[in-house]
Amino acid sequence: MAIPGEQSGTDDVLSHEKNWSELPEDILHLFSRKLPDISDFIRFRAVCKRWQLSAPVNDHPPQLPWLLEQREDLENAIIRFYCLLSGKVHTFTCPASHRAWIKGPAYRYLFAYLLGSSQMYLLNPLTRDQIYAPWVNVLGCPDYIGPDLIAGGDIVVISGIKLNSDNGNPRPKMMAFWRPKADDWVYVERVGNSANAFYREQYFSNDEETGITSVIDIATKKIAYQVAPPVGINPLLEGYTVMVESGGRILRLFHHNEAEPCHFDIHYLYFGDGEGKPCWVKITNIGDQMLFLQYNRGLSICASNFVGFKGNCIYFLKYGRYLCRYDIGDGTTDVLPCPFVSVDSWFVPSLV
């Protein structure tokens, strides 16, 4: 007689095996929401039809940014990413990237600028989805063409010089804003030339020479505020400024290039009660947020969505080669493994 809890033979073992495809859909959905790497989410959906239906692509789990490798050869259609979470390199053959500069950082889409033409488009390298942008009346260097922030495919910003002038007047410096669902670009005369961020219909542009931040209302095309640089921060110091929306606030980070050990000065834009002028307020903690910076742009991600990651940290690219993590709390910097010789920007992968 078999002892309760023991298996009497091979047949009994097989009879006790579970058919995972028959799990309730709500349980399968919970499992799918715990997959922090989009590649695992894709494999989950590929198991069977039932698993696919339980994990709709428009309800995938939060994703850590992937690191985009800088492409030296634009003739090929290969795009490579490094996943910080898994330590794996993902390689995609994407015909739409042939002869195209690929820019970020971005959510869902990268920004592609076709070499030797005026053609520009948003590109999702996972789905190969493309959204073509209308012609833009701004001439900019390819190094500066690209999205300052595409939050859910929300907005694209290009800085440069106006191509066509009126009545022979000198061509002004311009910024052009475009939403994927819009028919055309919105043009605003440029007031800044460095770090940028976009939040709640306002564009925040920092001038690297003066340190003044201009807050531009997209609807009116006018400057709503001009904010003096933080007290004690000399814009001519050796370093660079990054602005990023994080947890509903606009943060301004100044990275001291020559400082050893590494150091960031962090401020948030305080608007007050509406009666006084906005100003920068210094902070030493960003809570549960992680910042992913690239040159003068960045992304903010909630750390509590990812096991093994903690908030109050800054991930940044040093000299375009080294991937580093700065702990704001204790001021330490770690150099992290990265398989790429040169890196370009961050991309948050998405299937929608």
236/156 same-domain check: yes
**Residue 6 placed within a domain:** no
Other C-beta atoms within 10 Å of 134: how many? 11
Residue 87 pairs in a beta bridge with: none
Does 3 map to a domain? no
For the chain, how many structural domains are there in total?
2
Among 8, 37, 61, identify where a domain stops: 61
Query: Do 42 and 97 reside in the same domain of the chain?
Result: no
Residues 49 and 166 in one domain: no
Query: Given a cut of 90, is residue 151 above it in pLDDT?
Result: no
Q: Look at residue 1 and tell me if it is in a domain.
A: no
User: Residue 127 burial (CB < 10 Å; 0-12/13-18/19+)?
Assistant: middle
Specify whether 37 is located in the same domain as 123: no
Q: Are residues 54 and 106 in the same domain?
A: no
Task: Please state, in angstroms and rounded to a whole number, the distance separating the CA atoms of residues 23 and 159.
Answer: 52
Both 160 and 29 in one domain: the answer is no
**What whole-number distance in Å separates Cα of residue 274 and Cα of residue 76?**
52
Residue 121 lies in a domain: yes
Distance separating alpha carbons of residues 207 and 196, to the nearest angstrom = 9
pLDDT of residue 304 exceeding 80:
yes
- At which of 10, 35, 61 does a domain end? 61
Q: Average pLDDT for residues 69-82, to the nearest whole number?
A: 90
In a shared domain, residues 199 and 240: yes
Q: Residue 143 — very low, low, confident or very high, per pLDDT cuts 50/70/90?
A: very low
Same domain, residue pair 52 and 91: no
Whether residues 35 and 127 share a domain: the answer is no
The number of beta carbons lying within 10 Å of the beta carbon of residue 95 is: 7
pLDDT in tens, 204-241: 888 878 888 988 888 888 888 899 988 877 766 677 88
Report the share of the chain in percent with pLDDT over 70.
Answer: 84
Q: Is residue 158 part of a domain?
A: yes
H or E stretch including 228?
none
- DSSP E strand stretches across 128-248: 129-132, 138-139, 156-162, 173-178, 186-189, 196-199, 202-206, 213-217, 222-227, 239-246
Instruction: Answer yes or no: is 292 within a domain.
Output: yes
pLDDT at residue 136, rounded to an integer? 82
pLDDT for 249 beyond 80: yes
> Which residues in 274-299 are b (16+ Cβ under 10 Å) and which e?
eeeebebeeeeebeebbbbbbbbbbb
| pLDDT tens digits, 266-281 | 999 998 765 668 899 9
Check if the beta carbon of residue 298 is closer than 8 Å to that of residue 254.
no
- Whether 13 is in a domain gets the answer no
Give the structural domain span for 35. 21-61
pLDDT of residue 39: 86
Give yes or no for a contact between 319 and 343, defined as CB atoms under 8 angstroms apart: no
> Does 247 score more than 90 pLDDT?
no
Are residues 244 and 297 in contact, defined by beta-carbon separation less than 8 angstroms?
yes
Residue 24's pLDDT is what?
86
Q: Which residue among 38, 61, 84 closes a domain?
A: 61
Distance between first and last Cα of the chain: 56
DSSP letters for 269-325: EE-TTSSS--EEEE-S--TTEEEEEETTEEEEEEGGGSTT--SSEEEEEETTTEEEE
pLDDT at 8 over 60: no
Residues 68 and 50 in one domain: no
Same domain, 67 and 33: no
Q: Cα-Cα-Cα-Cα dihedral of 250, 256, 261, 267, to 10°?
A: -20
* Whether 34 and 131 share a structural domain: no
Structure letter (DSSP) for residue 145:
B
pLDDT band at 168 (very low <50, low <70, confident <90, very high): low
State pTM to two decimals: 0.85
In a domain, 307, yes or no: yes
CATH number at residue 241: 2.120.10.30
